[in-house]
Amino acid sequence: MKRALPLLLLGSLCSGLWAQQFKLNLDHLAGKAANVVDISLNGPMLQFAAKFLDNKDPDQATVKKLINGLEGIYVKSYEFKNTGAWSPSDLDAVRNQLKGPDWMKMVGYTSSEDGETADIYIRTEDKKINGIAVLVSAPKELTVVNIAGSVDLESLSTLGGHFGVPKLVPPPHKK
């Protein structure tokens, strides 16, 4: 899974609480997980954090511009000690919300070798992208990301290293 998410985000390039566009419905997994990441940054929190970015630094200025259109970033990520701690129905409950006219599956990845899957969905309104959903799973890991608001796919990767979003580095190529 650690290879699939960066590969998909770099290669292709997210209701409930605040601007969250779908319900993550995964809190019941926290007690079973060895490690949990739970990020909920709504629009005002993002705008407050943007004030600390330096407009003179080109990377930080790009990030600041990107988050101006965002209404929120929501992440639920679980790492488990044992296989089978989460079930496919947990992910299906999220995936079912991403069906319909507003959401479109943009990228799908499945590895039969290590059991990893990853999907990227985009939400459009008036021919503009206003949300991204990323679902990534492995036998001992499960991650769901929702980026809500106006999204510029070209500059999305610049969020890496800011606001708890990991910096994405392409995986080394196997020979």
pLDDT 10s digits, 138-175: 999 999 999 888 877 666 666 666 555 555 555 555 55
Domain residue spans in the chain?
4-159
Examine the pLDDT at 4 and tell me if it is beyond 70. no
In the predicted model, what is the mean pLDDT of residues 20-35?
88
Residues with Cβ within 8 Å of residue 127, at least 6 apart in sequence: none
What is the CB neighbour count within 10 angstroms for residue 101?
Answer: 6
Q: Measuring CA to CA, how many Å separate 125 from each of 38, 103, 119, 122?
A: 27, 9, 20, 10
pLDDT in tens, 76-105: 999 999 999 999 999 999 999 998 788 999
- Residue 126 C-alpha from the chain's centroid: 22
CA-CA distance, 2 to 56, in Å (whole number)? 32
